[in-house]
A and B are shown apart, each in its own frame.
Chain A
Amino acid sequence: MATKNLLEAVRETLHDAMASDERVFIMGEDVGARGNVFLITAGFQEEFGRERIIDTPLAEASIIGVAIGAAMAGLRPIAEIQFADFIYPAFNQIVGEAAKTRYRSAGGNTCPLVIRTPYGGGVRGALSHSVSIEALFYHVPGLRVLAPSTPADAKGLLTSAIADEDPVLFLEHKRTYRLIKGEVPEGRYTVPIGKADIARAGKDLSVITYGLMRHFAVEAAEKIAAEGIDAEVVDLRSIRPMDRETIVASATKTRRVLVVHEDNKFGGVGAEISAAIAEEALFELDAPIKRLCGPDVPAMGYAKEYEEAFMPSPDRIADAMRELARF
């Protein structure tokens, strides 16, 4: 198995899908001549042609609208929103159209559409290149929201997303693109949508998280292991559908739960995780559920201090774990 970073895993998966299935095509801003702003699709237009690697205007609603039509007509579009911060003009197309296609047509039409977009902070992206959007979309029935954190999961989940009959919002944390490396199996394989991953098994407390924070949480867990605190880290991978079974099993096992995400705390994914545990495992809990999240401010500032103040760090996660363990 080759070691790849997450960006390379995404690139490989897209390439394999393009090469193996003629229905697959990619459209978005700068995906063609520029080869995507992170060079994920560099060389794709030369290899697959301008008909299948389509540069679009700066018009997100149109990108998604066109992709929905293509998907309903039998193609497998992979639409890219250059940065998650730019997805808002397409909100109606995603939530109002794509997510409702199957329901509205009583199953007569499906919308096998993948929307890839880089999200999250930690790269000094400031106001317009750092946002987390998962909470805006995971509320919506009919839409799948995936947020892999490792190269192997990125490949397996993206493969599942392309094969899926329903619209998938595929979130790639931009900080993980080059930071996170891991072994990626050769050839085509899938990771099931809706299954969480136990990133680290432990018995004293559970950290439930996803995306970049999975890596920070594992780092923090290793740090406090030396202090005798044995933390479990659950990586959701799939935000919707959410793997309640694994969440509840972990909460039941350790009896103490810390939810970590970079997105704002209020109404974030952590709220649903907490509610699920309260509904199904209240009488197993030995401590109140704790959340460590981004603050409820409109955006991440450009200044290094602002960014650091916004994003949970391994040190802050370790502190929260210690506090929970001592409760």
Chain B
Amino acid sequence: MPQLGETVTEGTVGRWLKKVGDQVEKYEPLLEVETDKVASEIPSPFAGTLTSILAQEGTTVPVGAPICEIGGAAGGGSSTGSGTATSAAASPATAQAASGASQASSPGSSAGLVSTSGNGVRYSPAVRKLAREHRVDLGAVSGTGRGGRVTAHDVTAHVGSGAAAAERYSPSVQVASAAILPPRALAAHAPSPMPVAPAGDEDTVIRLSQMRKTIAERMVLSTSTIPHAWCMMEADVTDLSRWRDKEKAAFKAREGVNLTYLPIVVSTVCRAIREVPAVNSTWAGDHIIMRKHINVGIAIDVEDGLVVPVVRDADRFSLAGLAQAINELVDKARKRRLTMADLSDGTITVDNTGALGNVASVPIINPPQAAIITMEAVVKRPWVVNDAIAIRSIMNLCLCIDHRVLDGAAASRFLGSVKAQLESFQPG
């Protein structure tokens, strides 16, 4: 299963475009894969004959897992071997998952206690609880139980040996887990550890969509690994509001899109990043990567969830250009036409929570980013101006930062810059 984007951990085989026995050219479309948010056609990495399909249509497999075998390369040459179509570089975690799966099929297990008929390894409740508590990748634990089963003692011994600590804190793995994989133990859509009363007759059971699973995993990953700190400032956008009211008809006529507050805030965020570049960063375990490109994720709610497509190099756009780029992303999101490229490489996220009427929010950082900023509803308030009370249009700005990367002072400088720009907004 190829890696379709940095945050993708698994893919669902949508449709095989070739049958077993078919000749396949290199780069010829081989199958369709559905991931969190998009469906992609996967080109064959080899030329040859499709000798077997390991992942049937509709099955979901982790990135790096074999999905088919292509043998006897058609073009001659050194064609004796067979290639297994997986991603070019399976991550260590997926390699372990594969070895874990092979253990499950070992003989001698009785009455389904150890192995399952499916492709997964079955762990006892105690093992799963311990793995969650200690954030252990069970694929990395060697089992001493019957048929190689991982026992609770194996997990505690693994934790005690420090191997688990190394997994958690070694820089390479930290980068990998931040950028690619939440530890399997963290999978948010796994059965709840809390005893849950089963659904009654009057309840409705909602199956998890791929998007819902992804949102759950990403949110658990974010809140369980990133120390969030929150702050809020109030921006007096009265002048901006007046300017916008004056301009918006002409803007629409000229540019073909509505002049909303969103591109305005995005442009001020880009300028504020120029002043406080640390906001545009990623925590990478033993170092911090400050990103050169400013790729602003825009949170867009869709029918059954949320997507965050990215305006790449948002700082290079004019206001009209930003408005058009964002409009295009919203349109693609609603029509479910976003590509992996649209969803990748964000460095900071802007969330227009005000569109839903909120005046304060505590957003969750979109990992591996270090900050997320919300723009709240513009509300007219009694406001003190020059020691007199005036009626002003106020927009609250809320910011959550990864406190490993940033401290309150930098966060406040950044937020203060956005506020100041909005209060003295100059288009251009």
Question: Which A residues touch B195, using CB under 8 A?
Answer: 282
Chain A: which residue is nearest B111 at the CB level?
Answer: A288
Could you tell me the distance in whole angstroms from the C-beta of B412 to the nearest C-beta in chain A?
43
In the bound assembly, the distance between CA atoms of A284 and B195 in angstroms comes to 13
Question: Which B residues touch A282, using CB under 8 A?
Answer: 125, 195
In the bound assembly, the distance between CA atoms of A91 and B129 in angstroms comes to 46
A319 CB–B CB distance under 8 Å: no
Q: In the complex, which of the residues A286, A287, A326 has the most CB atoms of chain B within 10 Å of its own CB atom? A: A286
A288 contact from B113, B152, B193, Cβ within 8 A:
B113
Interface string of A266-289 (1 = CB under 8 A from B): 000000000000000011111110
In the bound assembly, the distance between CA atoms of A217 and B129 in angstroms comes to 30
Interface string of B208-230 (1 = CB under 8 A from A): 00000000000000000000000
In the bound assembly, the distance between CA atoms of A284 and B156 in angstroms comes to 13
Could you tell me the distance in whole angstroms from the C-beta of B157 to the nearest C-beta in chain A?
13
Assess whether A255 is in contact with B126, with CB atoms less than 8 Å apart.
Answer: yes
Chain A: which residue is nearest B193 at the CB level?
Answer: A283
Assess whether B126 is in contact with A286, with CB atoms less than 8 Å apart.
Answer: yes
Assess whether B146 is in contact with A286, with CB atoms less than 8 Å apart.
Answer: no
B145 CB–A CB distance under 8 Å: yes
Could you tell me the distance in whole angstroms from the C-beta of B174 to the nearest C-beta in chain A?
28
Interface string of B94-131 (1 = CB under 8 A from A): 00000000000000000001000000000011111100
Could you tell me the distance in whole angstroms from the C-beta of B262 to the nearest C-beta in chain A?
46
Could you tell me the distance in whole angstroms from the C-beta of A53 to the nearest C-beta in chain B?
54
Assess whether A286 is in contact with B151, with CB atoms less than 8 Å apart.
Answer: yes
Interface residues on A, range: 10 to 19
Nearest first, the 8 A-B pairs at minimum CB distance are: A286-B152, A286-B126, A283-B125, A286-B124, A283-B129, A255-B126, A255-B152, A284-B126
In the bound assembly, the distance between CA atoms of A282 and B149 in angstroms comes to 18
In the bound assembly, the distance between CA atoms of A287 and B129 in angstroms comes to 13
Assess whether B125 is in contact with A284, with CB atoms less than 8 Å apart.
Answer: yes
Question: Can you list 18 pairs linking A and B with CB atoms under 8 Å apart?
Answer: A255-B152, A282-B195, A283-B125, A283-B128, A283-B129, A283-B193, A284-B125, A286-B124, A286-B125, A286-B126, A286-B151, A286-B152, A326-B145, A326-B146, A327-B113, A327-B145, A327-B146, A327-B149
Interface string of B173-216 (1 = CB under 8 A from A): 00000000000000000000101000000000000000000000
Question: Which A residues touch B146, using CB under 8 A?
Answer: 326-327
In the bound assembly, the distance between CA atoms of A283 and B193 in angstroms comes to 8
Question: Which B residues touch A285, using CB under 8 A?
Answer: 124-126
Could you tell me the distance in whole angstroms from the C-beta of A169 to the nearest C-beta in chain B?
34
Assess whether A286 is in contact with B127, with CB atoms less than 8 Å apart.
Answer: yes
Question: Which A residues touch B129, using CB under 8 A?
Answer: 283-284
Could you tell me the distance in whole angstroms from the C-beta of B274 to the nearest C-beta in chain A?
51
Could you tell me the distance in whole angstroms from the C-beta of A2 to the nearest C-beta in chain B?
43
Question: Which A residues touch B152, using CB under 8 A?
Answer: 255, 286
Could you tell me the distance in whole angstroms from the C-beta of B113 to the nearest C-beta in chain A?
6
Question: Which A residues touch B126, using CB under 8 A?
Answer: 255, 283-286
Residues of B222-280 whose CB lies within 8 A of A: none
Question: Which A residues touch B125, using CB under 8 A?
Answer: 282-286
Question: Which B residues touch A327, using CB under 8 A?
Answer: 113, 145-146, 149, 151
Could you tell me the distance in whole angstroms from the C-beta of B167 to the nearest C-beta in chain A?
21
Chain B: which residue is nearest A279 at the CB level?
Answer: B195
Question: Which A residues touch B127, using CB under 8 A?
Answer: 286
Could you tell me the distance in whole angstroms from the C-beta of B311 to the nearest C-beta in chain A?
45
Could you tell me the distance in whole angstroms from the C-beta of B143 to the nearest C-beta in chain A?
11
In the bound assembly, the distance between CA atoms of A8 and B145 in angstroms comes to 46
Question: Which B residues touch A288, using CB under 8 A?
Answer: 113
In the bound assembly, the distance between CA atoms of A284 and B113 in angstroms comes to 17
Chain B: which residue is nearest A203 at the CB level?
Answer: B153
Chain B: which residue is nearest A284 at the CB level?
Answer: B126
New A-B pairs, 11, CB < 8 Å, besides A282-B125, A283-B126: A283-B128, A283-B193, A284-B129, A285-B124, A286-B124, A286-B125, A286-B152, A286-B153, A327-B113, A327-B145, A327-B149
Question: Which B residues touch A326, using CB under 8 A?
Answer: 145-146
Chain B: which residue is nearest A252 at the CB level?
Answer: B126
Interface string of A297-327 (1 = CB under 8 A from B): 0000000000000000000000000000011
In the bound assembly, the distance between CA atoms of A48 and B126 in angstroms comes to 58
Question: Which B residues touch A283, using CB under 8 A?
Answer: 125-126, 128-129, 193
Could you tell me the distance in whole angstroms from the C-beta of B155 to the nearest C-beta in chain A?
9
Could you tell me the distance in whole angstroms from the C-beta of B187 to the nearest C-beta in chain A?
16
Interface string of A210-224 (1 = CB under 8 A from B): 000000000000000
Residues of B127-142 whose CB lies within 8 A of A: 127-129
Question: Which A residues touch B151, using CB under 8 A?
Answer: 286, 327
Chain B: which residue is nearest A204 at the CB level?
Answer: B153
In the bound assembly, the distance between CA atoms of A255 and B125 in angstroms comes to 10
Question: Which B residues touch A284, using CB under 8 A?
Answer: 125-126, 129
In the bound assembly, the distance between CA atoms of A121 and B342 in angstroms comes to 76
Residues of A232-286 whose CB lies within 8 A of B: 255, 282-286
In the bound assembly, the distance between CA atoms of A282 and B153 in angstroms comes to 16
Chain B: which residue is nearest A323 at the CB level?
Answer: B146
In the bound assembly, the distance between CA atoms of A286 and B138 in angstroms comes to 14
Could you tell me the distance in whole angstroms from the C-beta of A26 to the nearest C-beta in chain B?
49
In the bound assembly, the distance between CA atoms of A255 and B127 in angstroms comes to 10
Chain A: which residue is nearest B144 at the CB level?
Answer: A326
In the bound assembly, the distance between CA atoms of A238 and B152 in angstroms comes to 31
Could you tell me the distance in whole angstroms from the C-beta of A148 to the nearest C-beta in chain B?
32
Residues of B273-295 whose CB lies within 8 A of A: none
Chain B: which residue is nearest A287 at the CB level?
Answer: B124
Question: Which B residues touch A287, using CB under 8 A?
Answer: 124
In the bound assembly, the distance between CA atoms of A266 and B122 in angstroms comes to 28
In the bound assembly, the distance between CA atoms of A285 and B146 in angstroms comes to 16
In the bound assembly, the distance between CA atoms of A240 and B263 in angstroms comes to 72
In the bound assembly, the distance between CA atoms of A286 and B125 in angstroms comes to 6
Could you tell me the distance in whole angstroms from the C-beta of B154 to the nearest C-beta in chain A?
9
In the bound assembly, the distance between CA atoms of A26 and B126 in angstroms comes to 51
Question: Which A residues touch B193, using CB under 8 A?
Answer: 283
Chain B: which residue is nearest A280 at the CB level?
Answer: B195
Could you tell me the distance in whole angstroms from the C-beta of B110 to the nearest C-beta in chain A?
9
Could you tell me the distance in whole angstroms from the C-beta of B84 to the nearest C-beta in chain A?
34
